[in-house]
Each structure stands twice: as C-alpha cells, then as structure tokens.
C-alpha cells in the first residue's frame, strides 16, 4: 500500500505520483496530511498543495482509481483540542472517498471503542476501522512517541514502565503482553483487522501474532 502525504507536495507533484502508482498497478493508497517537516513547528502547505488530509483524499479520488485509506485518532489529533471535532474530520475523510480508516497508536482500548461508537452511531460511518497497535521497545521510546502524538499511557501501564526504567528487555516483554491483551479484546469485538506498527523491528509483533493464535507456533 503506497502512502501519499501533503508534505512538500503540490497538485502537480501529486498528479505525477498518482499516475506513477496507477501505472505500477498499485491498488491501495493511504492518504495522510503528514507531520510538519523537521524544524517547522506547525504544518504549512506548500504553494499549490493541501493543508488537510480530507482534501488529499478528494484529490486522489478524482485523479485515480484506488482503494483509499485515511487516518483516525481515538484520542483526537494532537493539534485538535476536541476529540469529537477530530472524529468528525475522520468521518469527512470517508465522505470524501476513504474506504477504510487506520488509527493512531493507543494503549487504552476504551478510547478506540468510544471513537468507533461515535463514528458508527452518530456519523453513520460504515467502512472498516482498523486499530493501530505499537508494541513498545523501551520506556524512553514510548514516552517520546505518546508525547508526540498526544496519546496517553494508562496509570497502571505507566507505573510498570517506571518500575522497569531502563530495563529494555522487560519493557519489551511488557509491550508484548499489553498489546496482546488489547489486540485479543479488539478481535473479540469484531474489528476488521489490526495494523501493527513494527518500525522495522519485527520480533515483538511476531510474538503478539503467535500469542493470538494467528500463526502456528514453531516447534
């Protein structure tokens, strides 16, 4: 699945990228606004570009034939003070042509359920909503990630992370256990699938998938 963002891209660049993707036979695109480039505090669209993902979704829909995905934020986007307003923006992406949503990372599964309930029952969103799960690797890493994206660490989980401190292997195992439990609950609730953020380091994700019984355990 190709990823297209608004970062550094104007309509001309995007048109060429869409044509290239279509020529390569790519069928799926995840359309994102993207984070501000390094050194830029707030996102600023380039001349002729887009400031919001919903506009990018609409543009790709008009210029290509793809299955489009977009982002959703169970706790609201870090730049949006009201999570319900942000959930409305996710619904707008679907109205613009997104056919599935993948969420930002989260560690309290009730936030995901609240968002899904809102989108389904108040906004009539029917497309698949896929939870994004990141098994953390160290206390420092996950504190940094959650701070950047505005996600919270539930009290009991934060307490365990503080207890382990710099013991990265214990923290990694904690991440496997917590994300396995959360994934199992979500699958039992009938989610369409799970999107694992592995950051090019797969052992934790492999362990979670095996814990869930989704692949055979090696002898």
R_g of the chain computed on alpha carbons:
18
Q: What is the pLDDT of residue 40?
A: 81
Q: What percentage of the chain has pLDDT greater than the value 90?
A: 88
The whole-number pLDDT of residue 118 equals 98
Sheet holding 100-105, edge to edge: 2-5, 28-32, 67-72, 100-105, 129-133, 195-196
The per-residue pLDDT for 50 is: 95
Q: What is the pLDDT of residues 19-58, one digit of tens each?
A: 999 999 999 999 999 988 887 878 888 899 999 999 999 9
Q: How far is the C-alpha of 157 from the C-alpha of 163, rounded, in Å?
A: 10
Q: What is the dihedral sign for C-alpha 181, 140, 83, 9? A: negative
Low-confidence ranges of the chain (pLDDT < 70): 217-219
Evaluate if pTM is beyond 0.85: yes
């Amino acid at each position: 699945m190709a990823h297209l963002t608004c970062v550094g891209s104007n309509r001309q660049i995007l048109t060429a990228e869409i044509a290239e993707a279509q020529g390569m036979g790519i069928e799926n695109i995840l359309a994102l606004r993207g984070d501000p480039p390094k050194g830029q505090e707030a996102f600023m669209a380039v001349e002729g570009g887009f400031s919001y993902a919903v506009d990018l979704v609409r543009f790709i829909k008009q210029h290509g034939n793809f299955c489009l995905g977009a982002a959703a934020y169970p706790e609201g986007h870090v730049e949006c003070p009201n999570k319900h307003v942000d959930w409305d923006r996710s619904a707008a992406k679907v109205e613009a042509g997104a056919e599935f949503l993948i969420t930002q990372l989260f560690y309290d599964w009730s936030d995901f359920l609240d968002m899904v309930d809102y989108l389904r029952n108040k906004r009539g969103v029917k497309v698949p909503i896929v939870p994004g799960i990141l098994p953390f690797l160290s206390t420092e890493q996950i504190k940094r990630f959650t701070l950047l994206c505005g996600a919270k660490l539930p009290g009991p989980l934060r307490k365990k992370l503080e207890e382990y401190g710099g013991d990265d292997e214990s923290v990694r195992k904690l991440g496997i256990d917590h994300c396995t439990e959360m994934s199992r609950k979500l699958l039992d609730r009938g989610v369409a699938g799970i999107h694992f953020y592995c950051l090019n380091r797969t052992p934790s994700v492999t362990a979670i998938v095996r814990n869930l019984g989704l692949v055979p355990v090696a002898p």
